[in-house]
Amino acid sequence: MRWNGWGDPAKAKDLPLAVRTLLPLLLGRTRKPEPAVPLEAVVLSPSALDADDIEAFATIVGAEHVSTSHDARVRHSGGRSTPDLLRLRAREQTGPDGVVHPASHDEVTACLRVAGERGIAVIPFGGGTSVVGALDPQRSEHHAVVSLDMRRLTGVLRVDDVSGEAVIAAGTTGPHAEAQLAAHGYELGHYPQSFRYATIGGFAAARSSGQNSAGNGRFDTMVTGIRVATPTGDLDLGRSPGSAAGPDLIRVLLGSEGAFGVITEVRVRVHPIPRERVVESWTFPDFARGAEGLRRVAQGGGGPTVIRLSDESETAVSLAQVGRIGRALAKGASAVTVYEGDGIAERRARVSELLRASGGASAGESAAEDWIAGRFDGPYLRDALLDAGVFCETLETATTWSNLEALKSAVDSALRDGFAASGARSYVMCHVSHVYPTGASLYFTVLAGIRAEPLSVWSAVKARTNDVIIATGGTISHHHAVGRDHAPWLESEIGSTGVRILRAIKRELDPAGILNPGALIPAERTP
């Protein structure tokens, strides 16, 4: 991955002409940012690891798999949120003191033992795609911090054809997992936008939700077993497909973001590769009627594998990206449906009837095909916007159907008013990409022409928006996880007793507090 941007550097793209034409209309003049510094010019503090620390890790994983090099430290210095990318463009940065690459569960366990004995914080690192500050190399009270890169724990380890399960090493990327499963005739079918780089362990640690969630479910619903190394012992969970043997500890580890232990293997439900795919695009007079259509589909069951609804603002920008500037200025929402597997004709007919009853009109296949072709490429556009001086960031939440419009309106206003308070014009877009019988997610993308220091402006806007999300009945995160960015709001969602439970688990599994300090669990208030 590009060290200070998204994805493959060879696939970096310029802003489409139509988007460059539209931006001044939306945001006014934007200031050209300072060029990013080259990798070799980044300034890091000297590594705090001493020779004995390095030797202790090298004894476990081999000297060639422990690095304190400048490049390795910079490349492991955070995730891929917009604040992360803005920091990575600066000359002075904060990186981990070293990077360690274990190759097995036992090596992970041994590395945690060494880190605990030597007072070294450990940040588990998969694909590096976190957008909530979960990979910030925070030392806390420890004398050093290392990034525990999981990429050597890779591959599909076992496939159970009879049970429809597979065991996959945590460092396996999405494409690698799907390619190996395909050799057995199966797929996992989990496709978040970070799919090309994110890992199986990361999917589990963040409770990821993929674009095919309407048909295949969230990642946590696919998990049937999990293996975890912790500083005080190992966990190997998932004896049977159903159990009443106490609370389900697998669910405690899913979403734990490396704060309780390091996930090394995940057992997942797999299904045969779909033999057929059919796509269809839809238009709606407005977002509200589109949302009503999605609600009817979700509550009717047996719908598409993918169903997503873009509001009027996002629809306009999507049209502008393909050069349809005239239509981009028109009103209306749009939707994409994708059907995979068996019984497509029957499912499609039933869904189409529900969408038409809500004011929808079929728009053919082309827009849906365009979305499929570029569905993993959105972050490249963000890089191009940042290069042009346009601030671009995302956030997401979820709520019940009855509260969806109220939450969308409240978040939209919080974002617009927040940027306006700093003298910046903004443009807010939203889509629904994950639906449930009782509610749906809301995924916001905001563009802003910030003339002040962007990180301080965004920090204030994000805090204001998080407060509004909690006050309006939304969740602080639907699938991006908590990380460090959302931790201060977690207690408002799960209550003080919920936070005490998390802290108790943390103390039991990680008494020295070496695992991902500051992530997930809110800092304790001082009296």
pLDDT of 445 over the 70 cut: yes
What pLDDT is stored for residue 325 in this prediction?
44
Q: Under CATH, what is the fold of the domain 156-272?
A: 3.30.465
CATH of 277-471, one of 3.40.50.300, 3.30.56.10, 3.40.462.40, 3.30.70.260: 3.40.462.40
pTM, entire model: 0.96
What pLDDT is stored for residue 36 in this prediction?
86
Q: What percent of the chain shows pLDDT beyond 90?
A: 90
DSSP code, position 111: H
Q: Which residues contact 243 (CB under 8 A, 6 or more apart)?
A: none
Which ranges constitute the DSSP H helices of 322-452?
325-328, 344-357, 366-374, 378-387, 404-421
Q: What residues does each domain of the chain span?
A: 41-149, 156-272, 277-471
Query: For residue 292, with 0-12 CB atoms within 10 Å meaning exposed, 13-18 middle and 19 or more buried, which class applies?
Result: buried
Altogether, the residues listed in the chain come to a count of 527
Segment 104-160, tens digit of pLDDT: 999 999 999 999 999 999 999 999 999 999 999 999 999 999 999 999 999 999 999
Segment 353-364, tens digit of pLDDT: 999 999 999 999
Pick the range with the lowest mean pLDDT from 168-177, 448-457, 489-498.
448-457
What pLDDT is stored for residue 329 in this prediction?
47
What pLDDT is stored for residue 328 in this prediction?
43
CATH of 41-149, one of 3.40.50.920, 3.30.1020.10, 3.40.50.720, 3.30.43.10: 3.30.43.10
In which band, very low, low, confident or very high, does the pLDDT at 324 lie, cut at 50, 70 and 90?
low
CA distance 287 to 295: 12
β-strand 233-237 against 223-230: which pairing, if any? Answer: antiparallel
pLDDT of 526 over the 80 cut: no
What pLDDT is stored for residue 35 in this prediction?
84
What pLDDT is stored for residue 323 in this prediction?
55
- Let me know if the fold of 156-272 is the same as that of 277-471: no
What token pair was written down for 448?
A: 């802003």
CA distance 402 to 439: 8
Closest CA to 508 of 249, 255, 298, 158: 249
How large is the angle between the packed helices 312-321 and 17-27, nearest 10 degrees?
A: 140
Segment 190-234, tens digit of pLDDT: 999 999 999 999 999 999 999 999 999 999 999 999 999 999 999
The total of other beta-carbon atoms located within 10 Å of residue 239's CB is 9
What pLDDT is stored for residue 326 in this prediction?
45
Tokens 């949120």, located at residue = 81
